[in-house]
Structure 1
Amino acid sequence: MTYSIGELSREFGVTLRTLRFYEDKGLLNPRREGLNRIYSRRDRARLKLVLMGKKVGFSLVEIKEILDLYDMKDGEVLQMQVALDKFEGQVAVLKRQREEIEHAIDELSQTMDAVRQILTQKQDEQKQAGEAA
């Protein structure tokens, strides 16, 4: 099965420019028929992996390294080991980021509580001043 650039663009919600960019970076390799790009099932699968990799925070260079290992003929053992190592590293990064985000949310929530208290005080003072006048 083959896909046009428009079909992949619509299916994955990316722009044509994005697909051409990924092609320029060597992540996709559609064949050409005149001016048309014809994407294979392999290209579609690679695009899906690129987008998943980006979603979890991998750089395009890291994604390309993982994808390029698929082209090696080592029975996929090296590819799976490298991919697993990268995935474990990225999980650690994401967990650290989650902890930092949770800490930031806690701090911001405490600040919001303090501001609410001050605001309530000020509103009460204004209300009392208005009643006294």
Structure 2
Amino acid sequence: MRDYYTITELTREFDISTRTIRFYEDEGLLAPIRRGRTRLFRHSDRQLLKNILRGKRLGFSIAEIREIMNMYKSPPGEAAQLRAIVRRVGDRRQELEQKRRDIEELLRELDAAEEACLTRMAELGVGQTARAE
């Protein structure tokens, strides 16, 4: 395991911009060691960044990520953090499932509208060149 990572190494590893890392630093989520103008990230900072990015992929806001991270730092620690994550993942899953139901309903409505148009076009003897593929 390495002692330190540079900002450039982390941007390459996680395919993110230096601006993103600086944003997380400004938000108080990361606190690298500074040597002059150089930022040196410890292994723990790298792991935090990995968890922040995972949280973002799951749809958590910066405030939610900060709350979970703060729970880990203070008692009751990891157990509370895990319960919070499970609760938030469940909430996010419900939101996404509702969006899926909404999209499926919208697609059914679009199919019905398209079919009605095609039927009417056939009745009028109009060609179907305008049909979307």
Q: Give the TM-score normalised by structure 1.
A: 0.81
1:28 deviates by 0.9
Letter of the 2:26 counterpart: D
Task: Answer 1 or 2: which has greater helix percent.
Answer: 1
Residues 35-61 of structure 1, C-alpha deviations (whole Å, 9 max, x = no match): 111111111000001111111122222
Counterpart position of 1:115:
113
| Superposed counterparts of 1:1-133, under 5 Å | 1=2, 2-72=4-74, 78-127=76-125
Which runs of 4 or more aligned residues in structure 1 lie more than 3 Å from their structure 2 counterparts after TM superposition? 68-72
Q: Give distance in 1, aligned partners of 2:124 and 2:94.
A: 45
Residues 49-101 of structure 1, C-alpha deviations (whole Å, 9 max, x = no match): 111111112222232233234445x6xxx222221221121122123213312
| Gaps in structure 1 of 5+ consecutive residues | none
Paired residue total: 125
Q: Identity rate of aligned residues, in percent?
A: 36
Structure-2 change in CA distance of 1:28 and 1:90 (3 Å):
same
* Greater Rg by CA: 1
| Gaps in structure 2 of 5+ consecutive residues | 128-133
